[in-house]
Structure 1
Amino acid sequence: MRIVLVGPPGAGKGTQAAYLAENLSIPHISTGDLFRANISQGTDLGRQAKSYMDAGELVPDEVTIGMAKDRMERPDATGGFLLDGFPRNVSQAEALDAMLKSEGMTLDAVLDLEVPEDEVVKRIAGRRICRNDSSHVFHVTYSPPAQEGVCDVCGGDLYQRDDDSETTVRKRLEVYHTQTEPIIDYYRGQGLVVTISALGKVTEVTQRAMAALQ
């Protein structure tokens, strides 16, 4: 099964992608992982991406597309894949269609995780990270520490990352609405979009997604 996963920041795409890929026995292909792997391995595409990132510029679509193409051509992806973070805009979606068509393949579904904007802001802006260990994550509403501002695990200070502030989250949502959301209409025109609510427990959302994909 070949699936594209879309949704706003804070929709839980990474979490759901991991569960869905495991349930469907297909690789989870994340743009973030692709960038990190290519840069750490010093591939030609990784060097190109790093040069743009070091200059504070956006990585061009052709570099991202090249990384995705290389990953999708590996043996473990012959039976399908779940794309998370790619395509990010309509031009990338068109390039993905052309890439698949050249291999005689098509997408099976585009899973759209729907979350109200205020809930996205609440989820991200309420996050607090431990200064001693960034894997210790709390939430002021959903998983608060026993003592405000103190990590339950190691006693370290909890803080809000700059990119988790409400102002930054709303800017990220603007970018999503402008750049990424249009691909939902693009794929809806192909009859591929399946929209589900991403509210509730992680397991509930996974069950909802599996039922919708079947």
Structure 2
Amino acid sequence: MRFVFLGPPGAGKGTQAAILANAMDIPALSTGDILRAAIENQTSIGKVAKTFVDRGDLVPDDVVVGVVKERLAKKDASGGFILDGFPRTLAQAAALDSFLYEIGLELDLTVELTVEDAQLLARIKKRAETDAAAGRKVRSDDNPQAFALRMNAYRQATKPLSEYYATRGKLVQIDGLATVDAVAREIRVVASRNCVQFISSNP
């Protein structure tokens, strides 16, 4: 089963991707983790990505796509995967579809977690307060100013992906404001309708 998780920053994509990945025994892959691993392992495409990261520049689409393709070619992703944070743009989505088509595969489902801006901001503030109270490092982007920038970038580049996948019959939208367990249950229901593997491994 091959999933893409969409949603604005703070919607809970990483949490839900990890839960579903554990249930289905497939890897949950975030763009940031993939890039860091490629750079750390000094793969050929990772070395290219590092030149942009070291300059503080955005990594171009073609390089990001190359890093993701390199990761998806690994054995643990052969039975399926969950992509969190990729694709971020229509160009990346088209490149992903093209790559999967070349190897005889396609995406099974795109899950979009939807949450209103004000509710997202409240959630991010609470996360920062909880981390601070627990003595954990507060994420540098868990503040209203950074949130506004992230939301603007999301609307401009990533939000159009909803329509892209909807027109292909691959999009399911789920209320991300519900509890973690409730959202996970709804995703499991959606997955069970689209994946025999999920049904057989989760009686």
TM-score, shorter chain, exceeding 0.5: yes
Residue among 166, 172, 190 paired with 2:150? 172
**Contact 1:45–1:63, Cα closer than 8 Å, also in 2:** yes
**Contact 1:112–1:184, Cα closer than 8 Å, also in 2:** yes
Normalized against structure 2, the TM-score is what? 0.88
Please tell me whether residue 68 in structure 1 is matched to residue 68 in structure 2: yes
**Contact 1:61–1:92, Cα closer than 8 Å, also in 2:** yes
Residue among 180, 187, 195 paired with 1:209? 187
Structure 2 partner of 1:92: 92
Structure 1 partner of 2:168: 190
Shift of 1:86: 0.7
Matched residue of 1:10: which SS?
A: coil
- RMSD (Å), alpha carbons: 1.7
Trace 1:54-133 onto structure 2 (pairs within 5 A): 54-128=54-128
Change (3 A) 1:106 1:177: same
Q: Which amino acid aligns with 2:38?
A: N
Matched residue of 2:58: which SS?
A: coil
Where does structure 1 lack aligned partners over 5 or more consecutive residues?
Answer: 130-137, 140-148
Q: Which amino acid aligns with 1:49?
A: A
User: What is the alpha-carbon distance in structure 2 between the residues aligned to residue 212 and residue 159 of structure 1?
Assistant: 35
Q: Which amino acid aligns with 1:197?
A: D
Matched residue of 1:105: which SS?
A: coil
Shift of 1:125: 2.7
Please tell me whether residue 29 in structure 1 is matched to residue 29 in structure 2: yes
Normalized against structure 1, the TM-score is what? 0.84
Change (3 A) 1:194 1:168: same
**Contact 1:125–1:169, Cα closer than 8 Å, also in 2:** no
Matched residue of 1:5: which SS?
A: strand
User: What is the alpha-carbon distance in structure 1 between the residues aligned to residue 168 and residue 181 of structure 2?
Assistant: 29
Q: Which amino acid aligns with 1:189?
A: T
**Contact 1:194–1:213, Cα closer than 8 Å, also in 2:** no
Any idea what the Cα deviations from partners look like across 1:63-116, whole Å, max 9, x if unmatched?
111111111111221111111111110000000010011111111100001111
Change (3 A) 1:21 1:160: closer
- The structure in which a higher percent of residues are helix is 2
User: What is the alpha-carbon distance in structure 1 between the residues aligned to residue 23 and residue 8 of structure 2?
Assistant: 23
Trace 1:148-167 onto structure 2 (pairs within 5 A): 151-152=133-134, 161-167=139-145
Q: Which amino acid aligns with 2:75?
A: P
Matched residue of 2:172: which SS?
A: strand
Where does structure 2 lack aligned partners over 5 or more consecutive residues?
Answer: 193-203
